[in-house]
Amino acid sequence: MKQTCVRDGGSAESAGSGTAVAKGQQGMKQRLTRKRLINTAKEFCSQRHAYRELLGVTDGKAVGTFIEHRLRDRLSERYEIGAGNSALGIDLPAVTTDIKVTSARQPQSSCPFRSARQKVYGLGYSILLLVYEKTDRYESGEAVLEFVRCAFIAAECTADYQTTRGIREILERDGNRDDVIAFLSDRNLPGDEIVHSELATEIMASPPEIGYLTISNALQWRLQYGRVIGLTESVPGIVKIT
């Protein structure tokens, strides 16, 4: 089975060269694009990151938020990143992308649960993923972060891998709507019979592409990135930046 997560010919742009501050002829900031985001992320990850504020900090969420703000501020200095999006709550509305920073020891994060449909068709936005290893250097009074992985995950790739793969296999074996409803129930997809029935109807009309996240049910979605980090083959929609 061919594994792809891009519809209608849409694919993630590859990282190009050039990291200069993007200014227009009149000093106006240019709008952030996917390519500019990828270039800036590559530059950011290649630089040395040592912070006194993070020395001894063991809360992965606090570390992640600190780095997310640093990267977002850099992007905001260079580009127009778009007005805040209260509906999606994402960092970079101009490219409909959220920044996720996570430890290599447990590469996962959380995001708000909006509907069961997200597990099948994706979160509705792309993810810029940064995976770090942190070393506390008490002799110098700073924490050093090394970014061991960085990847851009297009919105089309942000569904749950096992759920989407299972659905595709059912349909390839001539499965019908009842088979899909039973599968969704067996997978404990959030929602009642009406939710599953409506989603099955949509799946029959528009089968989902393969997602590359592991999404666990909780009060919030728990997103795990091991499959993206471990990819060895090229997948349309996923750009391995570092």
Give the CATH number for residue 36: 3.40.210
Asked whether residue 20 is assigned to any structural domain, the reply reads no
Which two tokens mark 165? 């793969």
Are residues 74 and 128 part of one domain?
Answer: yes
Per-residue 3-state assignment (H helix, E strand, C coil) for 130-181: EEEEEEEECCCCEEEEEEEEEEEECHHHCCEHHHHHHHHHHHHCCCCHHHHH
Asked whether residue 26 is assigned to any structural domain, the reply reads no
Asked whether residue 128 is assigned to any structural domain, the reply reads yes
pLDDT at 187: 94
pLDDT at 18: 47
d(CA 150, CA 239): 9
188: buried, middle or exposed (CB in 10 Å: 19+, 13-18, 0-12)?
A: exposed
Instruction: Name the residue range of residue 186's domain.
Output: 161-210
pLDDT at 87: 54
Which two tokens mark 134? 């942190």
Are residues 186 and 100 part of one domain?
Answer: no
Are residues 49 and 38 part of one domain?
Answer: yes
| Domain total in the chain | 2
Three-state DSSP at 29 gives strand
Are residues 168 and 102 part of one domain?
Answer: no
Are residues 165 and 141 part of one domain?
Answer: no
Three-state DSSP at 197 gives helix
Asked whether residue 174 is assigned to any structural domain, the reply reads yes
Are residues 173 and 94 part of one domain?
Answer: no
Are residues 150 and 57 part of one domain?
Answer: yes
pLDDT at 27: 64
Are residues 138 and 167 part of one domain?
Answer: no
Asked whether residue 199 is assigned to any structural domain, the reply reads yes
pLDDT at 4: 61
Asked whether residue 53 is assigned to any structural domain, the reply reads yes
Can you state the percent helix, strand and coil of the chain, rounding each to 5?
35, 25, 40
Mean pLDDT by runs of 10 across the 242 residues of the chain is: 53 46 62 98 98 97 97 97 70 96 96 94 98 97 98 98 98 98 96 96 98 90 96 95 94
Asked whether residue 78 is assigned to any structural domain, the reply reads yes
Asked whether residue 17 is assigned to any structural domain, the reply reads no
Are residues 79 and 150 part of one domain?
Answer: yes
Are residues 153 and 191 part of one domain?
Answer: no
Are residues 76 and 184 part of one domain?
Answer: no
Sign, CA dihedral 162-165-170-173, equals negative
Are residues 181 and 145 part of one domain?
Answer: no
CA distances from 43 to 8, 80, 119 (A): 31, 18, 32
- Alpha carbon dihedral 161, 164, 170, 171, in 10-degree steps, equals -140
pLDDT at 198: 97
pLDDT at 3: 58
* Angle between helix 161-172 and 177-186 (nearest 10): 150
